[in-house]
Each structure stands twice: as C-alpha cells, then as structure tokens.
C-alpha cells in the first residue's frame, strides 16, 4: 500500500484500476491471512478438549489406549513434519512463480501495480511484493490447513478401527460421540478465510462486468 501511495496507484490517478478497487488484495492481506494464523489457536483449543474426552468418557479402554495415543502422536509428527512443510513451501512458491514473467502484467489481481514505461506494461515493486510474498504466504497457509484437514480425516478413520466402548442408549443418539459435533469449529476460521477471499474476488469480477457494461 505504501508503494501504491507513493507512486499514485492507490487512487485513480496514474492507473485506471487503483489498488482501492481491488478488494481481493485487501481481504487476502488484512483478513484472510490473519484468520488463517488465528485458526491455529482455535484448532489447538478444540483438539485439547475433544481427544482427551475419548479416554475420560471410557470410549477408549486401557487395552486400546496405547494404540489411541500412538494414532494421535503419529498425526502430530506428520503435522509438524519439516518435510511436509518444505513441500508446501515449494508448492506455494511454484504457484506464485507460475504467474511471473509476461503473464504477470496481464493478471487482473495485479492491474493496480502495472505502469507503462514507453508504452510497455511494467510491474512495479508493489506488484512483485504481492506476487512473490503475499500470494505465496497465503497459499502456504491454505495448503497447511488442507494438509491438517487430511490428517484429521485419517485420525478419525483410524480411531473408528479401534474397539470403542460406545453407549447405544446415550441421550445424544450418537452412542455418546455427540461431542464430536464441535470438531468443525476447529476449521471454522479457515472456512471463513476461504469464503471471504472467494466472495470479494467474485465481487470484483462482477463490478468489472458492470463497469464495462456501463461504459
């Protein structure tokens, strides 16, 4: 934003599409990325409440407790794996680099950062910062949560393979597993971040269509 302000790309001055018209850029930087970071604390709090309940409520008996603990520890190792993190970083960077070069100045999300030097379109520093820093960071956090969602699915699948001591007559009508309905809360901020990013991108596209029609 500082670059856009200094180079008069913040308002409709040197460019026909100023930064303030690109809602998706603001939402991704100021809303989505902070939400993806804050989701870490939410997921941790939910996990610390739900998984111990399997043992405390007697669903996991002493005979299956070691296996249950190993499932959770295995998932934690994969979650904190440096190899997985390196793969996600590489994917995030490669996805960003895919848009570098000539195609970068044709990317609608970067139209606010394009200047014309002797009638040739040129991407300014603000555009390169968004392309090489903001977009990879956002993509990395998103990939990280996709990875964690996969891990959570595997964990619950492996838990279902254990001999759980369910209670058919439990009033929650789920054999006593009704407490798991709170599990989606762990990913609520992630879903919100994805929704606001997608929504404002669609809003931008719709406004472009309206502006083109009106002119």
Q: What pLDDT score was predicted for residue 125?
A: 58
Average pLDDT, the chain: 78
DSSP 8-state symbol, 30:
I
Residue 8 banded pLDDT, cuts 50, 70, 90: very low
Q: What is this structure's pTM?
A: 0.77
Looking at residue 112, what is its pLDDT? 53
For the chain, percent helix, then strand, then coil, each to nearest 5?
Answer: 75, 5, 20
Chain centroid to Cα 108, Å, comes to 21
* Contact status, residue 159 vs residue 1, Cβ threshold 8 Å: no
Most confident range (mean pLDDT) of 8-22, 84-98, 117-131 is: 84-98
Q: For residue 170, is pLDDT > 60?
A: yes
Residue 102 has pLDDT above 50, yes or no: no
């Amino acid at each position: 934003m500082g670059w856009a302000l200094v180079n008069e790309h913040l308002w409709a001055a040197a460019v026909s599409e100023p930064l303030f018209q690109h809602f998706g850029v603001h939402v991704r930087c100021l809303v989505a990325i902070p939400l993806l970071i804050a989701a870490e604390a939410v997921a941790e709090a939910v996990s610390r409440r739900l998984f111990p309940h399997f043992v405390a409520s007697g669903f996991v008996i002493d005979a299956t407790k070691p296996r249950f603990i190993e499932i959770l520890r295995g998932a934690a190792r994969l979650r904190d794996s440096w190899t997985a993190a390196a793969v996600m970083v590489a994917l995030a960077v490669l996805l960003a680099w895919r848009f570098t070069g000539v195609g970068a100045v044709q990317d609608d999300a970067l139209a606010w950062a394009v200047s014309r030097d002797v009638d040739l379109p040129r991407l300014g520093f603000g555009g390169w910062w968004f392309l090489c820093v903001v977009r990879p960071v956002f993509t990395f956090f998103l990939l990280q949560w996709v990875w964690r969602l996969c891990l959570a699915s595997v964990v619950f699948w492996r838990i279902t393979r254990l001999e759980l001591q369910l209670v058919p007559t439990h009033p929650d009508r789920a054999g006593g597993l009704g407490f798991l309905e709170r599990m989606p809360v762990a990913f609520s901020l992630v879903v919100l971040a994805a929704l606001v990013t997608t929504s404002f991108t669609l809003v931008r596209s719709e406004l472009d269509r309206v502006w083109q029609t009106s002119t």
